[in-house]
Amino acid sequence: MKKPGKRLISLQINGMEYEVAVRSDRTLLELLREDLMLTGTKEGCDDGSCGSCTVLLDGSPVRSCLLLAVEAENREVTTIEGLAENEKLHPIQQAFVDHGAIQCGYCSPGMILTAKALLDENPAPSEQDILHAISGNFCRCTGYNKIVTAIRAASRNGKGGD
Amino acid sequence: MRLPHFDLHQPSTLEEAFSLMEGGALALAGGTDLIPLMKYGLEVPSTLVSLKRVDCLKSIARRDGGVFIGAMTSLAELASSRIISENFAALFQAARSVAAPPIWNVATVGGNICQDSRCLYYNQSRAWRLEKPACLKAGGNVCHAVPKGKKCFSVYSGDLAPALAALGAMARVEKKGGSRSVSILELFSSNGLRPFTLEKEEIVTGVEIALPAKSTNSSYRKMRARPSVDYPLVSAAACVTRDGGGKIEKMRLVLGAVGPSPALVYGAGRLFEGNTLEEADWEAFSELVGKDVRMVDNLSYPGSYRKEMVPIIAARAVRAACGPGGGEENA
Protein backbone atom coordinates (compact mmCIF):
# COMPACT_ATOMS: atom_id res chain seq x y z
CA MET A 1 0.00 0.00 0.00
CA LYS A 2 1.49 3.34 -1.01
CA LYS A 3 1.42 6.38 1.22
CA PRO A 4 -2.02 7.96 1.24
CA GLY A 5 -2.15 11.61 0.19
CA LYS A 6 -2.30 14.39 2.71
CA ARG A 7 -5.55 15.99 3.67
CA LEU A 8 -6.00 19.59 4.75
CA ILE A 9 -7.79 19.82 8.08
CA SER A 10 -8.67 22.69 10.42
CA LEU A 11 -8.59 22.30 14.16
CA GLN A 12 -8.13 24.43 17.21
CA ILE A 13 -5.17 23.69 19.46
CA ASN A 14 -4.77 25.55 22.74
CA GLY A 15 -7.08 28.29 21.51
CA MET A 16 -5.28 28.83 18.21
CA GLU A 17 -6.66 27.97 14.79
CA TYR A 18 -4.48 25.57 12.81
CA GLU A 19 -4.77 24.42 9.24
CA VAL A 20 -2.53 21.42 8.69
CA ALA A 21 -1.92 18.92 5.89
CA VAL A 22 -1.84 15.43 7.37
CA ARG A 23 -1.96 11.85 6.12
CA SER A 24 -4.86 9.65 7.27
CA ASP A 25 -2.44 7.15 8.85
CA ARG A 26 -0.98 9.69 11.30
CA THR A 27 -2.18 9.82 14.87
CA LEU A 28 -3.03 13.01 16.70
CA LEU A 29 -0.02 12.31 18.93
CA GLU A 30 2.31 12.26 15.91
CA LEU A 31 0.77 15.44 14.54
CA LEU A 32 1.25 17.25 17.85
CA ARG A 33 4.74 16.06 18.63
CA GLU A 34 6.35 15.72 15.22
CA ASP A 35 4.64 18.25 12.99
CA LEU A 36 3.71 20.98 15.47
CA MET A 37 6.56 20.38 17.94
CA LEU A 38 4.15 20.36 20.87
CA THR A 39 6.30 17.81 22.70
CA GLY A 40 4.65 18.30 26.09
CA THR A 41 2.32 15.46 25.14
CA LYS A 42 4.29 12.29 25.87
CA GLU A 43 4.46 9.01 24.00
CA GLY A 44 4.44 6.11 26.45
CA CYS A 45 3.07 2.67 25.62
CA ASP A 46 1.63 3.92 22.29
CA ASP A 47 -1.20 1.38 22.50
CA GLY A 48 -3.65 3.18 24.77
CA SER A 49 -2.74 1.55 28.06
CA CYS A 50 -0.77 4.18 29.98
CA GLY A 51 -2.40 7.58 29.48
CA SER A 52 0.80 9.61 29.09
CA CYS A 53 -0.39 10.89 25.70
CA THR A 54 -3.67 12.23 27.14
CA VAL A 55 -4.98 15.45 25.62
CA LEU A 56 -8.37 17.09 25.95
CA LEU A 57 -10.65 16.82 22.94
CA ASP A 58 -13.50 19.29 23.29
CA GLY A 59 -12.73 19.26 27.02
CA SER A 60 -12.73 15.45 27.51
CA PRO A 61 -9.55 13.44 28.09
CA VAL A 62 -8.64 11.06 25.25
CA ARG A 63 -5.59 9.04 24.23
CA SER A 64 -3.94 10.95 21.38
CA CYS A 65 -2.03 7.79 20.36
CA LEU A 66 -5.31 6.06 19.48
CA LEU A 67 -6.92 8.91 17.62
CA LEU A 68 -6.27 9.57 13.94
CA ALA A 69 -5.23 13.18 13.43
CA VAL A 70 -7.88 13.66 10.72
CA GLU A 71 -10.53 12.67 13.25
CA ALA A 72 -9.70 15.79 15.25
CA GLU A 73 -10.89 17.94 12.34
CA ASN A 74 -12.95 20.91 13.54
CA ARG A 75 -12.43 19.85 17.16
CA GLU A 76 -10.79 21.71 20.01
CA VAL A 77 -7.60 20.14 21.36
CA THR A 78 -5.94 21.17 24.62
CA THR A 79 -2.39 20.03 25.35
CA ILE A 80 -0.28 20.72 28.40
CA GLU A 81 1.27 23.72 26.58
CA GLY A 82 -2.16 25.37 26.61
CA LEU A 83 -2.60 25.53 30.37
CA ALA A 84 -0.14 28.13 31.63
CA GLU A 85 -0.88 31.77 30.90
CA ASN A 86 2.36 33.49 29.89
CA GLU A 87 4.71 32.65 32.79
CA LYS A 88 1.95 31.83 35.26
CA LEU A 89 1.31 28.14 35.76
CA HIS A 90 -2.25 26.82 35.79
CA PRO A 91 -3.44 26.23 39.40
CA ILE A 92 -3.32 22.45 38.88
CA GLN A 93 0.26 22.66 37.54
CA GLN A 94 1.19 24.87 40.51
CA ALA A 95 -0.39 22.38 42.92
CA PHE A 96 1.65 19.56 41.35
CA VAL A 97 4.82 21.62 41.93
CA ASP A 98 3.84 22.65 45.46
CA HIS A 99 2.99 19.12 46.57
CA GLY A 100 5.89 17.31 44.93
CA ALA A 101 3.50 15.40 42.68
CA ILE A 102 6.15 15.14 39.96
CA GLN A 103 8.90 12.57 40.04
CA CYS A 104 10.18 11.67 36.59
CA GLY A 105 7.44 13.88 35.14
CA TYR A 106 6.54 11.64 32.24
CA CYS A 107 2.96 11.05 33.36
CA SER A 108 2.47 14.65 34.53
CA PRO A 109 1.01 16.20 31.35
CA GLY A 110 -1.59 13.43 31.08
CA MET A 111 -2.33 13.50 34.81
CA ILE A 112 -2.73 17.28 34.86
CA LEU A 113 -5.01 17.35 31.81
CA THR A 114 -7.13 14.52 33.20
CA ALA A 115 -7.34 16.43 36.49
CA LYS A 116 -8.35 19.59 34.59
CA ALA A 117 -11.20 17.76 32.86
CA LEU A 118 -12.33 16.41 36.25
CA LEU A 119 -12.23 19.77 38.03
CA ASP A 120 -13.92 21.56 35.13
CA GLU A 121 -16.83 19.14 35.49
CA ASN A 122 -16.73 18.66 39.25
CA PRO A 123 -14.89 21.46 41.11
CA ALA A 124 -15.22 19.68 44.47
CA PRO A 125 -14.50 15.98 43.85
CA SER A 126 -14.16 13.39 46.59
CA GLU A 127 -10.96 11.36 46.86
CA GLN A 128 -12.86 8.50 45.23
CA ASP A 129 -13.82 10.76 42.31
CA ILE A 130 -10.17 11.74 41.87
CA LEU A 131 -8.97 8.13 41.98
CA HIS A 132 -11.65 7.15 39.46
CA ALA A 133 -10.76 10.02 37.11
CA ILE A 134 -7.02 9.27 37.05
CA SER A 135 -7.45 5.49 37.03
CA GLY A 136 -6.44 5.44 33.36
CA ASN A 137 -3.20 7.38 33.89
CA PHE A 138 -0.27 5.32 35.07
CA CYS A 139 2.57 6.75 37.15
CA ARG A 140 5.47 4.33 36.90
CA CYS A 141 7.20 6.11 39.81
CA THR A 142 4.03 5.17 41.77
CA GLY A 143 3.67 8.72 43.12
CA TYR A 144 -0.10 8.49 43.28
CA ASN A 145 -0.58 9.79 46.83
CA LYS A 146 1.03 13.13 46.09
CA ILE A 147 -0.81 13.39 42.77
CA VAL A 148 -4.14 12.88 44.55
CA THR A 149 -3.10 15.42 47.21
CA ALA A 150 -2.21 17.97 44.52
CA ILE A 151 -5.49 17.53 42.66
CA ARG A 152 -7.40 17.84 45.92
CA ALA A 153 -5.45 21.00 46.75
CA ALA A 154 -6.34 22.48 43.37
CA SER A 155 -10.01 21.66 43.87
CA ARG A 156 -12.60 23.74 45.66
CA ASN A 157 -12.26 21.34 48.62
CA GLY A 158 -8.64 22.43 48.94
CA LYS A 159 -9.72 26.05 48.41
CA GLY A 160 -7.88 26.01 45.10
CA GLY A 161 -11.00 26.11 42.92
CA ASP A 162 -12.50 29.13 41.24
CA MET B 1 4.96 2.57 16.42
CA ARG B 2 3.75 3.72 13.02
CA LEU B 3 0.42 2.78 11.58
CA PRO B 4 0.57 0.99 8.24
CA HIS B 5 -0.60 3.07 5.29
CA PHE B 6 -4.32 2.95 4.55
CA ASP B 7 -7.02 4.99 2.90
CA LEU B 8 -9.63 6.46 5.20
CA HIS B 9 -13.23 7.21 4.38
CA GLN B 10 -15.40 9.20 6.76
CA PRO B 11 -19.00 8.83 5.56
CA SER B 12 -21.78 10.71 7.32
CA THR B 13 -24.63 8.37 6.36
CA LEU B 14 -25.10 4.64 6.81
CA GLU B 15 -25.88 4.15 3.11
CA GLU B 16 -22.55 5.70 2.18
CA ALA B 17 -20.80 3.51 4.76
CA PHE B 18 -22.42 0.32 3.42
CA SER B 19 -21.30 1.17 -0.15
CA LEU B 20 -17.75 1.86 1.00
CA MET B 21 -17.61 -1.44 2.93
CA GLU B 22 -18.23 -3.39 -0.28
CA GLY B 23 -14.65 -3.07 -1.44
CA GLY B 24 -13.29 -5.17 1.44
CA ALA B 25 -12.71 -2.29 3.86
CA LEU B 26 -12.65 -2.59 7.64
CA ALA B 27 -15.05 -0.58 9.78
CA LEU B 28 -13.42 1.75 12.30
CA ALA B 29 -15.48 2.63 15.38
CA GLY B 30 -13.71 4.20 18.38
CA GLY B 31 -10.42 2.60 17.36
CA THR B 32 -9.28 1.63 20.85
CA ASP B 33 -8.97 -2.03 19.76
CA LEU B 34 -8.24 -1.71 16.03
CA ILE B 35 -5.60 1.04 16.15
CA PRO B 36 -3.25 -0.91 18.49
CA LEU B 37 -3.76 -4.05 16.38
CA MET B 38 -2.72 -2.05 13.33
CA LYS B 39 0.29 -0.59 15.12
CA TYR B 40 1.39 -4.12 16.02
CA GLY B 41 0.96 -5.18 12.37
CA LEU B 42 -1.78 -7.66 13.31
CA GLU B 43 -4.36 -5.94 11.13
CA VAL B 44 -3.23 -4.35 7.89
CA PRO B 45 -6.34 -3.07 6.12
CA SER B 46 -5.88 -1.11 2.92
CA THR B 47 -9.07 0.88 3.57
CA LEU B 48 -10.84 1.95 6.74
CA VAL B 49 -14.40 3.24 6.91
CA SER B 50 -14.71 5.43 9.99
CA LEU B 51 -18.24 5.45 11.41
CA LYS B 52 -17.59 8.40 13.73
CA ARG B 53 -19.55 10.84 11.57
CA VAL B 54 -22.59 8.59 11.21
CA ASP B 55 -24.65 10.40 13.81
CA CYS B 56 -27.72 8.14 13.52
CA LEU B 57 -25.70 5.38 15.22
CA LYS B 58 -25.13 7.43 18.37
CA SER B 59 -28.18 7.13 20.59
CA ILE B 60 -29.80 5.28 23.44
CA ALA B 61 -33.55 5.27 22.87
CA ARG B 62 -36.63 3.53 24.22
CA ARG B 63 -38.30 1.65 21.38
CA ASP B 64 -41.18 -0.89 21.30
CA GLY B 65 -40.93 -2.12 24.87
CA GLY B 66 -37.18 -2.15 24.79
CA VAL B 67 -34.11 0.00 24.47
CA PHE B 68 -32.09 0.45 21.29
CA ILE B 69 -28.42 1.37 21.64
CA GLY B 70 -26.69 2.59 18.49
CA ALA B 71 -23.33 0.96 17.76
CA MET B 72 -21.45 4.28 17.86
CA THR B 73 -22.78 5.23 21.29
CA SER B 74 -19.72 5.88 23.42
CA LEU B 75 -19.06 3.87 26.55
CA ALA B 76 -19.05 7.21 28.42
CA GLU B 77 -22.68 7.71 27.41
CA LEU B 78 -23.54 4.13 28.29
CA ALA B 79 -21.80 4.43 31.67
CA SER B 80 -23.77 7.54 32.58
CA SER B 81 -27.16 6.62 31.15
CA ARG B 82 -30.09 6.40 33.57
CA ILE B 83 -32.07 4.19 31.19
CA ILE B 84 -29.21 1.70 31.30
CA SER B 85 -28.45 1.91 35.03
CA GLU B 86 -32.12 1.58 36.01
CA ASN B 87 -32.95 -1.33 33.72
CA PHE B 88 -29.79 -3.18 32.81
CA ALA B 89 -27.39 -3.20 35.77
CA ALA B 90 -25.21 -5.90 34.16
CA LEU B 91 -24.59 -3.74 31.08
CA PHE B 92 -24.04 -0.62 33.17
CA GLN B 93 -21.49 -2.39 35.37
CA ALA B 94 -19.82 -3.99 32.34
CA ALA B 95 -19.42 -0.58 30.66
CA ARG B 96 -17.92 0.92 33.81
CA SER B 97 -15.49 -1.98 34.12
CA VAL B 98 -13.96 -1.36 30.68
CA ALA B 99 -10.44 0.12 30.76
CA ALA B 100 -10.74 3.63 32.30
CA PRO B 101 -12.82 6.82 31.80
CA PRO B 102 -10.62 8.41 29.08
CA ILE B 103 -11.09 5.26 26.99
CA TRP B 104 -14.87 5.44 27.52
CA ASN B 105 -14.86 8.86 25.82
CA VAL B 106 -13.76 7.26 22.56
CA ALA B 107 -14.64 3.54 22.74
CA THR B 108 -18.05 2.52 21.43
CA VAL B 109 -20.66 -0.15 22.04
CA GLY B 110 -20.23 -1.68 18.58
CA GLY B 111 -16.46 -1.58 18.79
CA ASN B 112 -16.41 -3.18 22.22
CA ILE B 113 -18.64 -6.03 21.03
CA CYS B 114 -16.62 -6.57 17.85
CA GLN B 115 -13.14 -6.48 19.44
CA ASP B 116 -10.80 -9.23 18.37
CA SER B 117 -9.95 -12.16 20.64
CA ARG B 118 -6.66 -11.92 22.52
CA CYS B 119 -3.69 -14.09 23.46
CA LEU B 120 -0.42 -13.47 25.25
CA TYR B 121 1.40 -14.89 22.22
CA TYR B 122 -0.54 -12.83 19.67
CA ASN B 123 -1.07 -9.32 21.10
CA GLN B 124 2.59 -8.41 21.03
CA SER B 125 4.78 -6.10 19.01
CA ARG B 126 6.17 -7.23 15.68
CA ALA B 127 9.68 -7.46 17.20
CA TRP B 128 8.43 -9.71 20.03
CA ARG B 129 6.59 -11.98 17.63
CA LEU B 130 9.61 -12.33 15.34
CA GLU B 131 11.33 -14.43 18.01
CA LYS B 132 8.92 -17.29 17.37
CA PRO B 133 7.27 -18.73 14.28
CA ALA B 134 3.91 -17.11 13.52
CA CYS B 135 1.05 -18.59 15.55
CA LEU B 136 -2.20 -19.87 14.04
CA LYS B 137 -4.00 -16.53 14.52
CA ALA B 138 -1.12 -14.65 12.92
CA GLY B 139 -1.28 -16.89 9.84
CA GLY B 140 1.22 -19.57 10.92
CA ASN B 141 0.62 -23.19 11.83
CA VAL B 142 1.62 -23.53 15.48
CA CYS B 143 -0.03 -22.59 18.76
CA HIS B 144 2.46 -21.36 21.34
CA ALA B 145 -0.01 -21.59 24.23
CA VAL B 146 -0.75 -25.29 23.66
CA PRO B 147 2.17 -27.07 22.01
CA LYS B 148 0.90 -29.16 19.08
CA GLY B 149 -2.45 -27.41 19.51
CA LYS B 150 -4.42 -27.61 16.30
CA LYS B 151 -6.84 -24.81 17.09
CA CYS B 152 -6.54 -21.23 18.28
CA PHE B 153 -7.09 -20.72 22.00
CA SER B 154 -7.29 -16.92 21.88
CA VAL B 155 -9.75 -15.47 24.39
CA TYR B 156 -12.62 -13.09 23.69
CA SER B 157 -12.10 -10.33 26.24
CA GLY B 158 -15.00 -7.95 25.63
CA ASP B 159 -16.99 -6.87 28.68
CA LEU B 160 -20.25 -5.78 27.07
CA ALA B 161 -21.05 -8.93 25.08
CA PRO B 162 -21.42 -11.31 28.09
CA ALA B 163 -23.67 -8.75 29.81
CA LEU B 164 -25.74 -8.22 26.66
CA ALA B 165 -26.02 -11.99 26.15
CA ALA B 166 -27.25 -12.49 29.74
CA LEU B 167 -29.83 -9.77 29.14
CA GLY B 168 -31.02 -11.55 25.99
CA ALA B 169 -30.07 -8.64 23.71
CA MET B 170 -30.29 -8.82 19.93
CA ALA B 171 -27.72 -7.30 17.61
CA ARG B 172 -28.72 -5.55 14.40
CA VAL B 173 -26.36 -6.45 11.58
CA GLU B 174 -26.59 -4.53 8.33
CA LYS B 175 -24.99 -4.27 4.91
CA LYS B 176 -25.96 -2.72 1.61
CA GLY B 177 -29.39 -4.03 0.71
CA GLY B 178 -29.91 -6.23 3.76
CA SER B 179 -30.22 -6.39 7.49
CA ARG B 180 -30.67 -9.14 10.05
CA SER B 181 -31.24 -9.38 13.74
CA VAL B 182 -29.29 -12.02 15.65
CA SER B 183 -28.78 -12.85 19.29
CA ILE B 184 -25.50 -11.61 20.75
CA LEU B 185 -24.19 -15.16 21.02
CA GLU B 186 -24.94 -15.78 17.33
CA LEU B 187 -22.45 -13.04 16.47
CA PHE B 188 -19.69 -15.38 17.62
CA SER B 189 -18.20 -18.28 15.69
CA SER B 190 -16.44 -20.04 18.63
CA ASN B 191 -13.31 -20.00 16.48
CA GLY B 192 -10.45 -17.89 17.85
CA LEU B 193 -8.97 -17.41 14.38
CA ARG B 194 -12.01 -15.48 13.24
CA PRO B 195 -14.24 -14.92 16.28
CA PHE B 196 -17.24 -13.40 14.49
CA THR B 197 -19.88 -14.72 12.13
CA LEU B 198 -20.14 -11.35 10.39
CA GLU B 199 -19.71 -11.32 6.63
CA LYS B 200 -16.97 -9.01 5.36
CA GLU B 201 -19.15 -6.08 4.41
CA GLU B 202 -21.52 -6.35 7.38
CA ILE B 203 -21.59 -3.80 10.22
CA VAL B 204 -23.16 -4.20 13.66
CA THR B 205 -25.30 -1.06 13.76
CA GLY B 206 -26.81 -1.44 17.23
CA VAL B 207 -28.25 -3.68 19.92
CA GLU B 208 -31.79 -3.99 21.17
CA ILE B 209 -32.67 -5.14 24.68
CA ALA B 210 -36.21 -5.86 25.89
CA LEU B 211 -37.09 -4.07 29.13
CA PRO B 212 -36.73 -6.52 32.01
CA ALA B 213 -39.74 -8.31 33.45
CA LYS B 214 -40.86 -7.40 36.97
CA SER B 215 -38.51 -8.57 39.74
CA THR B 216 -35.71 -9.14 37.27
CA ASN B 217 -32.25 -7.88 38.04
CA SER B 218 -28.83 -8.41 36.55
CA SER B 219 -25.18 -8.05 37.40
CA TYR B 220 -21.69 -8.29 35.88
CA ARG B 221 -18.57 -9.33 37.74
CA LYS B 222 -15.03 -9.27 36.39
CA MET B 223 -11.71 -10.56 37.68
CA ARG B 224 -8.63 -8.76 36.41
CA ALA B 225 -5.02 -8.26 37.45
CA ARG B 226 -5.40 -4.53 38.18
CA PRO B 227 -8.55 -2.51 38.76
CA SER B 228 -8.25 -0.28 35.69
CA VAL B 229 -7.18 -0.54 32.06
CA ASP B 230 -7.26 -4.30 32.11
CA TYR B 231 -9.08 -7.04 30.27
CA PRO B 232 -11.05 -9.66 32.17
CA LEU B 233 -9.28 -12.86 33.21
CA VAL B 234 -12.72 -14.29 33.96
CA SER B 235 -16.04 -12.50 33.93
CA ALA B 236 -19.67 -13.45 34.48
CA ALA B 237 -23.02 -11.80 33.82
CA ALA B 238 -26.21 -13.02 35.46
CA CYS B 239 -29.81 -12.04 34.85
CA VAL B 240 -32.17 -13.35 37.53
CA THR B 241 -35.96 -13.20 37.94
CA ARG B 242 -37.31 -13.94 41.42
CA ASP B 243 -40.79 -14.24 42.91
CA GLY B 244 -42.07 -12.23 45.87
CA GLY B 245 -40.57 -14.72 48.34
CA GLY B 246 -37.09 -14.45 46.84
CA LYS B 247 -37.25 -17.79 45.04
CA ILE B 248 -35.50 -17.83 41.70
CA GLU B 249 -37.88 -18.26 38.77
CA LYS B 250 -35.48 -17.77 35.89
CA MET B 251 -31.77 -17.26 35.53
CA ARG B 252 -29.44 -16.72 32.60
CA LEU B 253 -25.71 -16.89 33.23
CA VAL B 254 -23.03 -16.03 30.68
CA LEU B 255 -19.27 -16.32 31.19
CA GLY B 256 -16.70 -14.04 29.60
CA ALA B 257 -12.98 -14.54 28.88
CA VAL B 258 -13.29 -18.33 29.06
CA GLY B 259 -12.80 -19.00 25.33
CA PRO B 260 -13.16 -17.39 21.92
CA SER B 261 -16.76 -16.33 22.63
CA PRO B 262 -18.97 -15.54 25.62
CA ALA B 263 -20.31 -18.84 26.98
CA LEU B 264 -23.90 -19.41 28.07
CA VAL B 265 -24.03 -21.80 31.03
CA TYR B 266 -26.77 -24.25 30.06
CA GLY B 267 -28.74 -25.63 32.98
CA ALA B 268 -27.74 -22.96 35.51
CA GLY B 269 -31.30 -21.60 35.60
CA ARG B 270 -32.83 -25.08 36.02
CA LEU B 271 -30.48 -25.79 38.90
CA PHE B 272 -31.66 -22.76 40.85
CA GLU B 273 -35.34 -22.72 39.82
CA GLY B 274 -37.73 -22.64 42.78
CA ASN B 275 -34.93 -22.04 45.31
CA THR B 276 -33.83 -19.02 47.26
CA LEU B 277 -30.10 -18.22 47.19
CA GLU B 278 -29.69 -20.00 50.55
CA GLU B 279 -31.49 -23.13 49.38
CA ALA B 280 -29.56 -23.39 46.11
CA ASP B 281 -27.09 -26.23 45.59
CA TRP B 282 -23.91 -24.17 45.20
CA GLU B 283 -21.68 -27.23 44.96
CA ALA B 284 -23.60 -28.50 41.95
CA PHE B 285 -23.48 -24.95 40.58
CA SER B 286 -19.68 -24.82 40.84
CA GLU B 287 -19.39 -28.14 39.08
CA LEU B 288 -21.78 -27.14 36.31
CA VAL B 289 -20.19 -23.75 35.67
CA GLY B 290 -16.65 -25.05 35.34
CA LYS B 291 -17.58 -28.26 33.48
CA ASP B 292 -17.11 -27.23 29.84
CA VAL B 293 -14.48 -24.58 30.39
CA ARG B 294 -10.97 -25.18 29.03
CA MET B 295 -8.52 -22.46 29.89
CA VAL B 296 -4.88 -22.52 28.88
CA ASP B 297 -1.83 -20.45 29.79
CA ASN B 298 -2.38 -17.64 27.31
CA LEU B 299 -3.32 -14.66 29.49
CA SER B 300 -1.43 -12.96 32.31
CA TYR B 301 -2.64 -15.51 34.91
CA PRO B 302 -2.32 -19.30 34.47
CA GLY B 303 -5.26 -21.15 32.93
CA SER B 304 -5.54 -23.48 35.94
CA TYR B 305 -6.02 -20.52 38.31
CA ARG B 306 -8.49 -18.80 36.02
CA LYS B 307 -10.49 -22.03 35.76
CA GLU B 308 -10.67 -22.29 39.54
CA MET B 309 -11.96 -18.73 39.68
CA VAL B 310 -14.78 -19.32 37.15
CA PRO B 311 -17.36 -20.66 39.67
CA ILE B 312 -16.36 -18.02 42.21
CA ILE B 313 -16.85 -15.08 39.84
CA ALA B 314 -20.05 -16.68 38.49
CA ALA B 315 -21.42 -17.07 42.03
CA ARG B 316 -20.60 -13.43 42.78
CA ALA B 317 -22.52 -12.36 39.68
CA VAL B 318 -25.57 -14.44 40.69
CA ARG B 319 -25.52 -13.17 44.29
CA ALA B 320 -25.08 -9.56 43.14
CA ALA B 321 -28.00 -9.91 40.70
CA CYS B 322 -30.13 -10.94 43.67
CA GLY B 323 -29.09 -7.84 45.63
CA PRO B 324 -30.60 -4.39 45.19
CA GLY B 325 -29.71 -2.72 41.89
CA GLY B 326 -27.38 -5.53 40.81
CA GLY B 327 -25.16 -5.16 43.86
CA GLU B 328 -22.43 -2.63 44.29
CA GLU B 329 -20.13 -1.89 41.42
CA ASN B 330 -17.39 -4.21 40.34
CA ALA B 331 -14.34 -4.30 42.57
Q: Which of residues 62-91 of B touch A (CB under 8 A)?
A: 76
Which of A23, A49, A67 is opposite residue B106, by nearest beta carbon? A67
A1 domain residue, yes or no: no
Is A60 an interface residue toward B (CB < 8 Å)? yes
In the predicted structure, residue A161 carries a pLDDT above the cut 70: no
| Interface size, chain A vs chain B, as Cβ–Cβ contacts under 8 Å | 91
Q: Which domain holds residue A128?
A: 91-154
Q: Which of residues 213-232 of B touch A (CB under 8 A)?
A: 227-229
In the predicted structure, residue A1 carries a pLDDT above the cut 90: no
Answer yes or no: do A63 and B40 touch at CB < 8 A: no
- Fold entry, domain B55-114+155-210: 3.30.465
| CATH number (domain holding residue A128) | 1.10.150.120
The reported pLDDT for the residue numbered B326 is 60
pLDDT in tens, chain B (331 residues): 899 999 999 999 999 999 999 988 999 999 999 999 999 999 999 999 999 999 999 999 999 889 999 999 999 999 999 999 999 999 999 999 999 999 999 999 999 999 999 999 999 999 999 999 999 999 999 999 998 888 999 999 999 999 999 999 999 999 999 999 999 999 999 999 999 999 989 999 999 999 999 899 999 999 999 889 999 999 999 999 999 889 999 999 999 999 999 999 999 999 999 999 999 999 999 999 988 899 999 999 999 999 999 999 999 999 999 987 566 555 4
Asked if residue A51 and residue A32 are part of one domain, the reply reads yes
Q: For chain A, give the percent of residues with pLDDT over 70.
A: 98
Answer yes or no: do A4 and B52 touch at CB < 8 A: no
The reported pLDDT for the residue numbered A162 is 47
CA count, 13 A, side-chain hemisphere, B178: 6
The reported pLDDT for the residue numbered B331 is 42
SS (H, E, C) A36-54: CCCCCCCCCCCCCCCCCCE
A45 domain residue, yes or no: yes
A162 domain residue, yes or no: no
Q: Does the domain formed by B216-324 have CATH 1.10.287.70?
A: no
C-alpha to C-alpha distance for B69 and A33, rounded to whole angstroms: 36
What is this model's ipTM? Answer: 0.94
Domain count, chain A: 2
Find the angle CA(A65)-CA(B98)-CA(B265) to the nearest 5 degrees: 140
Which of B8, B31, B105 is opposite residue A60, by nearest beta carbon? B105
SS (H, E, C) chain B: CCCCCCEEECCCCHHHHHHHHCCCCEEECCCCCHHHHHHCCCCCCCEEEECCCCHHHCCEEEECCEEEEECCCEHHHHCCCHHHHHHCHHHHHHHHCCCCHHHHCCCEHHHHHCCCCECCCCCCCHHHHCCCCCECCCCCCECCCCCCCCCCCCECCCCHHHHHHHCCCEEEEEECCEEEEEEHHHHECCCCCCCECCCCCCEEEEEEEECCCCCEEEEEEEECCCCCCCCCCEEEEEEEEECCCCCEEEEEEEEECCCCCCEECCCHHHHHCCCCCCCCCHHHHHHHHHHCCCCCCCCCCCHHHHHHHHHHHHHHHHHHHCCHHHCCCCC
Delimit the domains of chain B by residue range. 55-114+155-210, 216-324
Answer yes or no: do A25 and B35 touch at CB < 8 A: no
What is the pTM assigned to this prediction? 0.95
Selected for mutation to probe chain A from B39, B96, B116 (highest A CB count within 10 Å) is B39
Residue of A nearest to B4 (CA): A25
In the predicted structure, residue A14 carries a pLDDT above the cut 70: yes
The reported pLDDT for the residue numbered B327 is 61
Is B12 an interface residue toward A (CB < 8 Å)? no
Residue B209: phi and psi, rounded to 5, are: -125, 130
